[in-house]
Structure 1
Amino acid sequence: MAALFGARVRRLRTAAGLTQAELGDRTHVVSTRITQIERASGAKPTLELARALDAALGAEDLLVELWPYVYREAFPDWSRKFMEYAERAGAVRQYAAHVVPGLLQTEDYARAVLSLDALLGSEEQLEERVAARMGRQDRLSSPERPELWVVLDEAVLRRPIGGQAVMRKQLARLLDAAVERHITVQVLPFDQGGHEAMGGSLTILTLPDGSEMAYTEGADYGQLIEEPVNVGRYKVIYDRLRAAALPPVTSLDMIRSTMEDDYRGSNVPSRSERRRLAQEQLQQSGGRRLRGGGRRVPRGRRPGP
């Protein structure tokens, strides 16, 4: 669609007798930006630029109408194919090495994660991706919702993406999600050491017909594995991760502790601080009420001579 958009711009520009530089002047962008659009080689045009091109070329809203289809290609090919399968999966098993999986992200956390993409073209593209990610979460509350099992590396909890307030809400979201019977959350602690999936995240999908596939992903790559032999190997890796992770109840306690200790509000004492204060108060209270040998002395009475 980006190529089609660029071809339309080039055809309309040529028909209008304009050079790329002249069209750039009329739309307030440099000529190289027009070149990128016509060749579909750079960042996708913003809606504002699509409107400017439409007006400058007298396209009668043709380019504006094409623009939403261009942005449906906001995600790379390998990511889109995986998402198509994930939409139909009856069971989703994920290991997340760096960030909370998209299905469980809050909107602010998703925006913070997606904004880290070095190839992100514009704010419009960012919001398009955020909206797409939030829309995919609707399936978790639909009648066709999948069974979701997530193993989070401890690094996911400790890395403050978006700041303390964003992280606190994100961890609270994990705790709320784990209450649902079809969602299980585990944490793989640092003290488990190295493992076979350290290079990136791993997802195992089970489709309604019983077929399975694996998907591995790094910062700027993804690989969909469909050969049964290779999928079986990744299933073994995932099962080992799940076995090494903390049990679900203990995992939730770790998430709660991290939320309260690492991402607490500025005026809220941490769990360890609260424990220390409680212990001090208990000791002070005991010191006032006990005299020699631990014998309790009624308040208001002094021991005799």
Structure 2
Amino acid sequence: MAERGETAESLAAKVQVDPKTAARWVTADRIPHPHSRVAVAEVLGREVAELWPEPFRRRDLPWFRPWADLEQEATSLRSYQPLLVPGLLQTEGYARAVLGTGALLAPAEVDEIVASRIARQRVLDRDDPPQLVVVIDEVVLRRPVGDGSVMAGQLRHLAAVAGREHVQVRVIPADNPWHTGLAGPFVLGRLPDGTELAYLDNQLRGQVVTDPVDVASLGRRWESVTGEALPRRRSIELIRGVAETWT
């Protein structure tokens, strides 16, 4: 804060909290909520993990931790994935096959990340779970990840979860022409106070997006990709049908 010329009052104004709250953040045992951590890091020009390393002690993917924390707070999540089943809906076998591809991670590291990914999914079992809408391309159902039993188990799980009241999984048919979503995956989230955020990732790391203009742009892309997808019931029927081809 001193390097950036920020006081508790100026920082509080920029991240929209009470100055007394911002003043408490400088003590060692006070860790802000995930949304506030991201906002403060942006103002101070630092990484979240540099300012508050404690939430990053676990050895899952460190750059993913800010979004994983926000994900637990979200009231709604909208995810477009053109190539993979999203992490919140992956089975253990599918996640292990994805992370083990290419032997880029040590087996122990794969175990830790898989355990973290499965633990994240408990958010869908809460008494007040977020509304989750997922759009995937049909190729996700048909490209082998692991062996046939892994794919069959994953698609059966996907169809079962898609039947929950607070979850929708919609599929874009393979014969649809090129659409805007194929430029890359993204996730949109809404927090209890109405704040809209997004998450993007690539081969190296992920990024939490908070700029309203960028979030709005991704929102327009979301409207475009959902327009390409099958309705909920037909999507579940397609998922179940493809699952049978893997048995």
* CA deviation vs aligned residue, 1:128-158 (integer Å, no higher than 9, x gap): 0011011111111111311000001111101
- In the alignment, the residues of structure 2 paired with residue 85 and residue 98 of structure 1 have an alpha-carbon distance, to the nearest angstrom, of 23
* CA deviation vs aligned residue, 1:63-102 (integer Å, no higher than 9, x gap): xxxxxx986143042x221112111111010011111111
1:104 is the counterpart of 2:96: no
- Give, in angstroms, the shift of residue 225 of structure 1: 1.4
Question: Of residues 155, 159, 162 in structure 1, which corresponds to 2:146?
Answer: 162
Answer yes or no: is the 8 Å Cα contact 2:60–2:116 preserved in 1.
no
Answer yes or no: is the 8 Å Cα contact 2:59–2:112 preserved in 1.
no
What is the correspondence of 1:255-294 to structure 2 with a 5 Å cutoff? 255-261=239-245, 263-264=246-247
Say what the alpha-carbon RMSD is for the aligned residues.
Answer: 1.7
Counterpart of 2:183 in 1: which secondary structure? coil
- In the alignment, the residues of structure 2 paired with residue 244 and residue 97 of structure 1 have an alpha-carbon distance, to the nearest angstrom, of 12
- Give, in angstroms, the shift of residue 240 of structure 1: 1.1
User: Which residue is 2:61 aligned to?
Assistant: 75
Relative distance call for 1:70 and 1:130 in structure 2 (3 A) is same
- In the alignment, the residues of structure 2 paired with residue 119 and residue 138 of structure 1 have an alpha-carbon distance, to the nearest angstrom, of 27
- Structure with greater contact order relative to length (CA < 8 Å, sep ≥ 6): 2
- Of the two, which has the highest radius of gyration? 1
- In the alignment, the residues of structure 2 paired with residue 71 and residue 111 of structure 1 have an alpha-carbon distance, to the nearest angstrom, of 22
- In the alignment, the residues of structure 1 paired with residue 175 and residue 194 of structure 2 have an alpha-carbon distance, to the nearest angstrom, of 35
- Give, in angstroms, the shift of residue 117 of structure 1: 6.2
Relative distance call for 1:141 and 1:221 in structure 2 (3 A) is same
Deviating runs (4+, > 6 A) in structure 1? none
* CA deviation vs aligned residue, 1:87-130 (integer Å, no higher than 9, x gap): 1111010011111111111111111111126541x211111001
TM-score norm. by structure 2 comes to 0.74
TM-score norm. by structure 1 comes to 0.60
Relative distance call for 1:140 and 1:106 in structure 2 (3 A) is same
Q: Tell me, which stretches of 5 or more residues in structure 2 are unaligned?
A: 1-54
Counterpart of 1:203 in 2: which secondary structure? strand
1:189 is the counterpart of 2:170: no
- In the alignment, the residues of structure 2 paired with residue 135 and residue 180 of structure 1 have an alpha-carbon distance, to the nearest angstrom, of 19
Relative distance call for 1:127 and 1:169 in structure 2 (3 A) is same
Answer yes or no: is the 8 Å Cα contact 1:102–1:110 preserved in 2.
yes
Question: Of residues 57, 69, 84 in structure 2, which corresponds to 1:84?
Answer: 69
User: Which residue is 2:124 aligned to?
Assistant: 140
